[in-house]
């Protein structure tokens, strides 16, 4: 099987194209319409805001800090996991409990079967002392006048050393759907017993009648929620996850330039020397489809013109091939021999004088 210059160049360019193939983008565009959100003013007044479409714009949209996808770290089963999504928890931004958070509802992705009816904080969220966070739940599963208690259980060595199991709020209206928890600046040192963090697990506790009758039996229901990590040193995602490495850009460029230089050298060598470097025995002018039939010094004039090598135009014995050229002589004449031209001329003049 012969290799031609065209097939070799096509094969090399195909490999070069594979090297420079751009990477597939992993970024996602957020196009979902935001749901209702809750705002709390400095006086503690709570209001629910519902965004509205108006042409190509959205009126009364929630603050971008509540919906914008960003990278954060969750502590799940003792392992740090980097996730890119909307924030796992909202915190107060003003005095006291003033701030905003997304309203929790059953249709949100944040409500999972294992943590229902909680929305935020999500499982494994890292919380920092000296801030106020909103613990939210879906109120649609409770009656309008039902009350409940939010309990927090401290895990790890801190709870046992401090002699505490956590805390429990006073009765809350289930329809409110949130509780603002302020973490004291000394929380970790007070409950961590020398540890750098404290595990906290939330639960909702309420009383439920088995039969809608005031005299019927009342039982206590406990809905377990997410476990979070309170720490003075929260982990931050590495910045290099969001930037393309310089090496990833430089390597394809250098390889591509080297391939182009090599291709240019191969073309130049083939045109000037009749073969390609390193593989001249496979691809050369002597093995090409044109020269393989014999041309130039490999065939005599008789072969190129349709005659035999030792047969002249006037019959057998009249052809003589020398250095690829054929001379023709008269019948039965032998080809001239080479000699000293000066000496021959002297002999001719001497014979004429006689």
39-53 pLDDT, tens digit per residue, is 999 999 999 999 998
Residue 195 lies in a domain: yes
Domains identified in the chain, total number = 2
Residue 116 lies in a domain: yes
Residue 336 lies in a domain: yes
CA separation for the pair 95, 180 (Å, rounded): 12
- Report pLDDT for 236: 83
- Quick: pLDDT tens for 74-94: 988 778 889 888 899 999 999
124 and 208 belong to one structural domain: yes
Q: Is 158 left (phi over 0), alpha (psi -120 to 50) or beta?
A: alpha
Residue 4 lies in a domain: no
Give the SS3 label for residue 340.
coil
- Quick: pLDDT tens for 225-244: 999 999 999 988 876 544 56
88 and 196 belong to one structural domain: yes
121 and 223 belong to one structural domain: yes
220 and 251 belong to one structural domain: no
164 and 296 belong to one structural domain: no
236 and 255 belong to one structural domain: no
Cis peptide before 314 (omega within 30 of 0): no
Of 205, 240, 275, the position where a domain reaches its end is: 240
pLDDT band at residue 305 under the 50/70/90 scheme: low
Average pLDDT over residues 121-146: 93
Q: Is the pLDDT of residue 106 over 90?
A: no
- Report pLDDT for 211: 52
Q: Which domain holds residue 145?
A: 32-240
């Amino acid at each position: 099987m012969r290799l031609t210059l065209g097939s070799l160049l096509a094969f090399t360019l195909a490999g070069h194209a594979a090297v420079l193939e751009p990477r597939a983008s992993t970024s996602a565009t957020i196009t979902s319409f935001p749901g209702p959100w809750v705002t709390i003013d400095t006086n503690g007044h709570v209001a629910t805001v519902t965004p509205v479409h108006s042409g190509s714009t959205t009126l009364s949209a929630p603050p971008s800090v509540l919906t914008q996808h960003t990278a954060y770290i969750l502590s799940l089963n003792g392992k740090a996991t980097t996730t890119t999504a909307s924030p796992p928890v909202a915190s107060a931004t003003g005095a006291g409990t003033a701030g905003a958070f997304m309203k929790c509802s059953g249709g949100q992705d944040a409500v999972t079967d294992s943590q229902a009816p909680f929305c935020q904080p999500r499982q494994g969220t890292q919380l920092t002392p000296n801030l106020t966070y909103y613990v939210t739940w879906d109120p649609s599963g409770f009656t309008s006048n039902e009350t409940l208690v939010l309990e927090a259980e401290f895990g790890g060595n801190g709870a046992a050393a401090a002699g505490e199991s956590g805390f429990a709020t006073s009765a809350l209206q289930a329809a409110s759907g949130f509780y603002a928890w302020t973490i004291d600046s000394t929380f970790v040192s007070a409950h961590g017993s020398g540890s750098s963090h404290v595990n906290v697990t939330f639960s909702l506790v309420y009383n439920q009648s088995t039969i809608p009758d005031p005299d019927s039996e009342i039982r206590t229901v406990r809905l377990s929620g997410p476990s979070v990590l309170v720490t003075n040193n929260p982990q931050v995602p590495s910045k290099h996850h969001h930037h393309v490495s310089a090496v990833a850009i430089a390597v394809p460029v250098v390889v591509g330039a080297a391939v182009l230089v090599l291709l240019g050298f191969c073309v130049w060598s083939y045109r000037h020397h009749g073969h390609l470097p390193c593989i001249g025995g496979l691809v050369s002018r002597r093995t090409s489809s044109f020269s393989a039939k014999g041309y130039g010094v490999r065939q005599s004039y008789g072969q190129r013109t349709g005659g035999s090598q030792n047969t002249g135009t006037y019959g057998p014995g009249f052809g003589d091939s020398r250095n690829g050229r054929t001379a023709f002589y008269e019948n039965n004449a032998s080809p001239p021999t080479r000699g000293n031209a000066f000496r021959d001329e002297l002999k001719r003049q001497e014979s004429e004088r006689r």
